[in-house]
């Protein structure tokens, strides 16, 4: 009987956690992002968030994001994606990491990486079975580097 009560306790705690994360997500998305930025297509915004949460630590362009969303039936353009991304970054749902040309002093304008501000929100939206653990680990390392005060860029050498 004790085993069953422990399972019920864990299930109840997980339900509380899900409700808590849903509350944070809803409040930030609907009040901080949608209302402040007069976003008209909330479903597109939600699709964009899911796509980015699923693609943490991948090099991405706004054109690639728009093309992917269009392929999946969410009609959009690169400028709209850029606008929505700016709103998400300004509301601290996502962090953008710019690419840096390590062979020279210039920042490269394309190919950025995005990281979730909280892995718990990612799990809440996508579930625990989505994505590889290496991407999640990269997100955790990025957040720790920020916490320690480092400026983080992405780049590559050679090919």
Give the integer Cα–Cα distance in Å for 74 and 134.
Answer: 28
What's the number of domains the chain is made of? 1
User: Per the domain annotation, does 135 fall within a domain?
Assistant: yes
DSSP state of 60: B
What's the whole-number mean pLDDT along residues 101-130?
A: 75
User: Per the domain annotation, does 41 fall within a domain?
Assistant: yes
CATH of the domain at 35: 1.10.10.10
User: Per the domain annotation, does 86 fall within a domain?
Assistant: yes
- 8 A C-beta contact, residue 153 and residue 100: yes
DSSP state of 130: S
| pLDDT at residue 107 greater than cutoff 50 | no
User: Per the domain annotation, does 34 fall within a domain?
Assistant: yes
User: Per the domain annotation, does 104 fall within a domain?
Assistant: yes
Domain range for 40 is 2-147
Q: Which residues of 123-156 are buried (b: 16+ CB within 10 A; e: fewer)?
A: bbbeeeeebeeebbebbeebbeeeeeeeeeebee
Give the integer Cα–Cα distance in Å for 137 and 143.
Answer: 10
Average pLDDT over the chain reads 85
Predicted TM-score of the model (pTM): 0.81
Give the integer Cα–Cα distance in Å for 134 and 34.
Answer: 31
User: Per the domain annotation, does 156 fall within a domain?
Assistant: no
Tens digits of per-residue pLDDT, 40-82? Answer: 899 999 999 999 999 888 889 999 999 999 999 989 999 999 9
User: Per the domain annotation, does 78 fall within a domain?
Assistant: yes
What is residue 97's predicted lDDT score, i.e. its pLDDT?
92
User: Per the domain annotation, does 141 fall within a domain?
Assistant: yes
């Amino acid at each position: 009987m004790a085993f069953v009560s422990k399972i019920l306790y864990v299930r109840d705690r997980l339900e509380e956690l899900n409700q808590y994360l849903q509350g944070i997500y809803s409040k930030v998305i609907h009040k901080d992002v949608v209302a402040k930025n007069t976003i008209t297509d909330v479903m597109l915004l939600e699709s964009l968030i899911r796509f980015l949460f699923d693609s943490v630590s991948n090099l991405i362009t706004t054109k690639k994001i728009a093309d992917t969303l269009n392929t999946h039936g969410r009609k959009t353009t690169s400028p709209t994606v850029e606008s929505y991304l700016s709103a998400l970054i300004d509301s601290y749902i996502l962090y953008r990491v710019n690419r840096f040309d390590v062979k020279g002093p210039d920042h490269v304008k394309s190919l950025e990486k995005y990281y979730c501000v909280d892995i718990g929100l990612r799990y809440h939206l996508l579930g625990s079975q989505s994505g590889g653990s290496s991407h999640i680990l990269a997100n955790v390392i990025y957040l720790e580097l920020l916490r320690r005060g480092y400026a983080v860029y992405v780049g590559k050498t050679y090919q």
